[in-house]
Amino acid sequence: MSTAVALIGAEGRMGRYCDQLLEDHPDFHIVCRVTSDQDLAAELAQVESGIGLDFTRAGLGREHGRVLLQAGVRPLIGTSGMQPADDLFLHELALESGLGGLVVPNFSLGVWLQQKLSLLAAKHMGQVEIQEEHHIHKTDAPSGTALDTALQLSEALGRPCDQIPIHSVRLPGLYSNQTVLFGAPGQILRLTHETYGQKAFGPGIIAALHYVAQAPPGVQRGIGHALEND
Ligand SMILES: NC(=O)c1ccc[n+]([C@@H]2O[C@H](COP(=O)([O-])OP(=O)(O)OC[C@H]3O[C@@H](n4cnc5c(N)ncnc54)[C@H](OP(=O)(O)O)[C@@H]3O)[C@@H](O)[C@H]2O)c1
């Protein structure tokens, strides 16, 4: 059976990409496309949606997750800017609602692997900084991916997150890159991931939709929940 998806941020770069991605997909179909001039709760009330896929403006994920859960819709939040406290807020609401959901700061397989490799490297090289580079239309800095990478490293290193420096570059010509640099006397290890377009996110978005459709109550963080359950 195909799961109904509410696409929030439908006219943005990621929204338009998801529209194409789900066109003719056997397992998912879009039942509502929400734009910035519409009220999310009112739009959700008009259709039956199983999952709400949010790609809007950094910082809106918590509020949209709340509205989705209160409408009985499972949230899949791809929008940047979700903090651990926002995850927890949605997690508790999801437990009360008996719905599963997921927050995914980056859907690409390569970034997921970069983060896993970074945690391995951090065990041996504790001096680490992150450089993220994005197109000039990106409104938030640092990127949600860089903040998520710093959070994972800070937990692994037992160090406050703000002690992992993040350098943000915004230039024409760039799409989305991230390098995690580890330094030790006489050597540097660079773990670089480069993204050349939205296609990098497609397989992760599909895997996450499959995960969220069946997820147990609660809201988890990270594409690993979807990829490691495959
Ligand atoms: N998780 C990932 O792997 C991943 C990958 C790429 C991007 N992202 C993140 O996803 C978000 C969207 O990225 P993008 O490149 O698609 O940005 P974008 O092109 O700026 O699109 C965002 C869209 O959301 C709309 N919007 C703003 N507020 C809204 C609201 N309350 N309800 C419905 N729509 C609303 C905007 O409309 P207006 O223009 O009218 O304001 C715009 O059409 C960003 O936070 C970005 O950092 C995440």
Q: What is the DSSP string of the chain?
A: -PEEEEEETTTSHHHHHHHHHHTT-SSEEEEEEE-TTS-HHHHHHTS--SEEEE--STT-HHHHHHHHHHTT-EEEE--S---HHHHHHHHHHHHHHT-EEEE-S---HHHHHHHHHHHHHHTT--EEEEEEEE-TT---SS-HHHHHHHHHHHHHHTS-GGGS-EEEEE-TT--EEEEEEEEETTEEEEEEEEE-SGGGGHHHHHHHHHHHHHPPSEEEESTHHHHTT-
Assess whether the C-beta atom of 36 lies below 6 angstroms from ligand 1: yes
Tens-level pLDDT at each residue, the chain (230 residues):
899 999 999 999 999 999 999 998 999 999 999 999 999 999 999 999 999 999 999 999 999 999 999 999 999 999 999 999 999 999 999 999 999 999 999 999 999 999 999 999 999 999 999 999 999 999 899 999 999 999 999 999 999 999 999 999 999 999 999 999 999 999 999 999 999 999 999 999 999 999 999 999 999 999 999 998 65
Pocket test for ligand 1, best of 39, 44, 55, 67 (most atoms within 8 A of CB): 55
pLDDT exceeding 70 applies to what percent of the chain?
99
Residue 116: active-site member: no
Domains and CATH numbers, the chain: 3-106+199-227 (3.40.50.720), 109-198 (3.30.360.10)
- 108-138 pLDDT, tens digit each: 999 999 999 999 999 999 999 999 999 999 9
Pocket test for ligand 1, best of 14, 43, 53, 115 (most atoms within 8 A of CB): 14
What dihedral angle (degrees, nearest 10) is formed by the CA atoms of 216, 205, 16, 151? 90
